[in-house]
Amino acid sequence: MVTGYTGILMMLVVGVIFGGGVIVVSRLTGRREDSREKLMAYECGIDPEGDARGRYSIKFYIVAVLFIVFDIEVIFLYPWAVIYRDLGIYGLVEMVIFIGILLIGFIYIWRKGALEWGGRRR
């Protein structure tokens, strides 16, 4: 049983040795001259302005997390669509419940104002 994984183990060992070897050779042969220009952050050829540790509104993070949550949940629709005919009415009912739970969550975050960028209107 172990012989089936020998090839994978050898590739892993070769990869680690090669990666480590390249880093060591680069460290030994490369010149290291630290200068102000070299240590400055690079943004598409434009000189950076301001501090890189600027604060962002929490809205950016909330929208990002919500996008990831709903995006991952939508991925569960693909396997269901592939075997839809085999599941029959049971699969349809389960998917309606699943989409209903997602819809309730979406309505909840919409009512809480998590998707609004400006001030909350009353």
Does 106 lie in the same domain as 64? yes
What single-letter amino acid sits at 25? V
Fill in the amino acid letter for 116.
Answer: E
CB 27 within 8 A of CB 16: no
Q: Is the pTM of this model over 0.85?
A: no
Specify the amino acid at residue 14.
Answer: V
Q: Encode pLDDT of 33-64 as tens digits.
A: 888 777 777 767 676 677 767 777 777 888 88
Q: For residue 118, is it within any domain?
A: no
CATH number of the CATH domain containing 104: 1.20.58.1610
Which of 37 and 112 is assigned the larger pLDDT?
A: 112
Is residue 45 one of the residues assigned to a domain?
A: no
Under the banding of pLDDT at 50, 70 and 90, the label for residue 22 is very high
For residue 108, the enclosing domain spans 58-112
Cα(108)–Cα(78) distance, integer angstroms: 25
pLDDT band (50, 70, 90) for residue 74: confident
The verdict on residue 50 lying in a domain is no
Query: Which alpha helices (DSSP H) does 2-113 contain, by range?
Result: 6-29, 36-39, 58-75, 77-82, 84-112
